[in-house]
Chains A and B, each alone.
Chain A
Amino acid sequence: MSEQSKDVCDPSSAAEASDSEVNSSPGVPGGLSPPASQAAILAGPETPPLGPTDAPLASPPPQAPSEEGDPKALQQASEEGRAHQAPSVAQPGPAPPAPAQLVQKAHELMWYVLVKDQKRMIIWFPDMVKDVIGSYKKWCRSILRRTSLILARVFGLHLRLTSLHTMEFSLVKALEPEELDRVALSNRMPMTGLLLMILSLIYVKGRGARESAVWNVLRILGLRPWKKHSTFGDVRKLITEEFVQQNYLKYQRVPHAEPPEYEFFWGSRASREITKMQIMEFLARVFKKDPQAWPSRYREALEEARALREADPSAHCPRNSVSED
Chain B
Amino acid sequence: MTSNHTPAPSHTQGGPRRAGVMTDVHRRFLQLLMTHGVLEEWDVRRLQKHCYRVHDRTAAVEELEDFINNINSVLESLYIEIKKGATEDDGRPVYALVNLATTSVSKMASDFAENELDLFRKALELIIDSETGFASSTNILNLVDQLKGKKMRKKEAEQVLQKFVQNKWLIEKEGEFTLHSRAILEMEQYIRETYPDAVKICNICHSLLIQGQSCETCGIRMHLPCVAKYFQSNSEPRCPHCNDYWPHEIPEVFDPEKEREAATSRATKRSLRSRQH
Contact = CB atoms under 8 A, between A and B. Distances in A.
A184 interface: yes
A29 B3 CA distance: 11
Given A154-B75, A188-B36, A188-B43, A121 B54 contact: no
A294 to B, nearest CB: 24
Bin chain A's interface residue count. 35 or more
Interface stretch (A5-13, A107-115, A200-208, A254-262): A107-115
Interface residues of B, number: 47
Contacts of B8: 153-154
Contacts of A173: 31
B248 interface: no
B111 interface: yes
Interface in B122-145: none
A7 to B, nearest CB: 27
A35 B50 contact: no
A230 B50 CA distance: 29
A184 B27 contact: no
A231 B166 contact: yes
Interface string A96-114: 0000000110011011101
B107 A115 contact: yes
A32 interface: yes
A154 B47 contact: no
B272 interface: yes
A29 B36 contact: no
A116 B110 contact: yes
Interface in B93-140: 99, 101-102, 107, 110-111
B22 A154 contact: yes
B154 interface: no
Contacts of B10: 29-30
Interface string B35-59: 1110100010011011001110000
A175 B1 CA distance: 9
A157 B31 contact: yes
Nearest to B9: A30
Given A30-B10, A181-B50, A156 B28 contact: yes
Nearest to A27: B3
Contact of A190 (B28, B75, B272): B272
A146 to B, nearest CB: 9
A103 B11 contact: yes
A199 B69 CA distance: 39
A325 B49 contact: yes
B27 A107 contact: no
Contact of B47 (A112, A131, A184): A184
Nearest to B47: A185
A182 B107 CA distance: 22
A131 B30 CA distance: 24
A176 B54 contact: yes
A95 B74 CA distance: 32
Given A111-B80, A176-B54, A185-B46, A233 B1 contact: no
B242 interface: no
Given A150-B78, A174-B1, A179-B54, A29 B7 contact: yes
B2 A153 contact: yes
A112 to B, nearest CB: 8
Nearest to A319: B54
B24 interface: yes
A155 B101 contact: no
Given A31-B9, A153-B6, A185 B36 contact: yes
A181 B33 CA distance: 11
Given A157-B31, A175-B24, A34 B13 contact: yes
Contacts of B189: none
B64 interface: no
The 5 closest A-B pairs by CB, nearest first: A156-B27, A30-B9, A35-B13, A184-B50, A111-B99
Interface of B: 1-3, 6-11, 13, 22, 24, 27-28, 30-32, 34-37, 39, 43, 46-47, 49-50, 53-55, 74-75, 78-80, 99, 101-102, 107, 110-111, 162-163, 166, 271-272, 274
22 contacts: A26-B1, A26-B2, A29-B7, A107-B80, A107-B101, A111-B80, A119-B111, A154-B78, A155-B31, A156-B24, A157-B27, A157-B31, A174-B2, A175-B27, A175-B28, A175-B55, A179-B54, A181-B32, A181-B50, A185-B36, A230-B274, A324-B46
Given A149-B9, A181-B31, 10 more contacts: A26-B2, A111-B80, A150-B78, A156-B2, A156-B31, A157-B27, A181-B28, A185-B50, A189-B36, A231-B272
